[in-house]
Amino acid sequence: MGVYEEMSFLRRLSVSAPAVVSAEVDTAALQPEAILPKLVEARDVLASLEQSPDTLFFQYPHWMIA
């Protein structure tokens, strides 16, 4: 997946207090073959982070991490 495809998939990042980062994504921008790699990527990122809603918390769309 190239930069253009990533930009069309990720619509917006929002930060809310105290430090919650959430993403708005456009699932229609993903090609069917890109869905599984995107799920793996999201889960790998979350598994590698030490996060807390009080310090830094990345909130992915539920379908990506369920």
Domain count, the chain: 1
Query: Can you tell me which residue has the tokens 């890109």?
Result: 34
d(CA 60, CA 35): 14
Domain encompassing residue 14: 3-65
Q: Whose CA is closest to 61, among 19, 17, 7, 14?
A: 14
For the entire predicted model, the pTM comes to 0.66
Note the pLDDT tens digit of each residue in 18-64: 888 898 888 888 888 888 988 898 899 888 888 877 788 888 888 88
Work out the pLDDT band at 5, boundaries 50, 70, 90: low
Give the pLDDT confidence score for residue 60 in this predicted structure. Answer: 86
